[in-house]
Amino acid sequence: MRHLLLGSVALLGLAAVSAQAADLPRRAAPPAPVYIAPIFTWTGFYVGLNAGYGFSGDRGVGISGSPLITNGQLAATVPFSLSPKRDGFIGGAQVGYNVQSGSLVYGVEVDFQGADIKGSANACAVGLGCGAVITNATNKLEWFGTLRGRLGVAFDRALIYATGGLALGGVRNSAHLNEFAGAGRQFDVRNNNTRAGWTLGAGVEYAISGNWSAKLEYLYYDLGRTSGVGIQTNPVNPAEFMTARFRNNGHIVRAGINYRFGGPAGPVVASY
């Protein structure tokens, strides 16, 4: 009897302890980590490649000098203009740095391209035909580089910007006038040098994936004017002369791709 009583007391004690344990607050499981989307930024260095098309429809060459006389008749009246419509391929590389503050993005870019932008034009003496007087002129841009600032507005992964600054280029120009289809006076002007000027344009760039972005850009460039005095290679009247003036300007439309170092920030893990 005594054992039965002790057993009953023990069972009652265990039940009481279990009831008290059930009433205690349970510890909640830790929350799952929350992943916040990466924060995109245009800030950082970048390098890339570009290729495009250059063109100009301006009257690129002006000819002036003394009137040219053929058998006592006026063979050509100067001054007059020729319009070599220059166009061709341009392509190279760029490197730059951007800083983003809010939606404002500003930075600097340096680029260098090889170019084959060229054109030529001919003119004949009015009334006498090309058998009497013919003039030929060429304009060519052989290489092109810029040092530009960039200022734009970012819409997350899209960037619209304006750009402008210093431009450099290698130009090769020439003009040739031939009287009597090679039998008379000939004048030659050749002008090959490096020119400094300015450029201004705009573009749009979009971050495709990861650290890669693609851009489309327009630039107008002006490398100033060059000129030279024609040398008579077969002199008949040493008093006669020809001067040629060349315009070195044009438009560039190009596409490019950039690799940005750093890129967007990685995922942020929030813990509690």
pLDDT in tens, the chain (272 residues): 555 444 554 545 555 545 554 554 556 666 666 555 567 899 999 999 999 999 986 767 777 766 554 444 445 555 566 777 889 999 999 999 999 999 999 999 999 999 999 888 777 655 555 555 567 788 889 999 999 999 999 999 999 999 999 999 999 988 877 765 555 567 778 888 899 999 999 999 999 988 999 999 999 999 998 888 876 765 566 656 777 888 899 999 999 999 999 755 444 434 44
Residue 25 lies in a domain: no
Which region, left, alpha or beta, applies to residue 88 given φ > 0 means left and ψ of -120 to 50 means alpha? left
Instruction: Show the tokens assigned to 170.
Output: 């290698």
Residue 222 lies in a domain: yes
Q: For residue 125, give every residue at least 6 positions away whose Cβ sits within 8 Å of its Cβ, in sequence order, or none.
A: 68, 70, 75, 76, 132, 133, 134
Domain boundaries, position 186: 44-96+116-141+171-265
Residue 20 lies in a domain: no
CB 219 within 8 A of CB 251: yes
Phi, psi of 192 (to 5 degrees): -125, 115
Q: For residue 265, give every residue at least 6 positions away whose Cβ sits within 8 Å of its Cβ, in sequence order, or none.
A: 38, 39, 40, 41
Residue 126 lies in a domain: yes
Residue 270 lies in a domain: no
DSSP 172: E
pLDDT at position 190 is 83
Residue 89 lies in a domain: yes
Residue in the structure block whose two tokens are 């030279």: 228
- The SS3 assignment for 77 reads coil
Instruction: Show the tokens assigned to 264.
Output: 């967007």
DSSP 182: G
Residue 35 lies in a domain: no
Phi, psi of 57 (to 5 degrees): -110, 10
pLDDT at position 268 is 41
Residue 157 lies in a domain: no
pLDDT at position 270 is 42
How many domains, in total, are found in the chain? 1
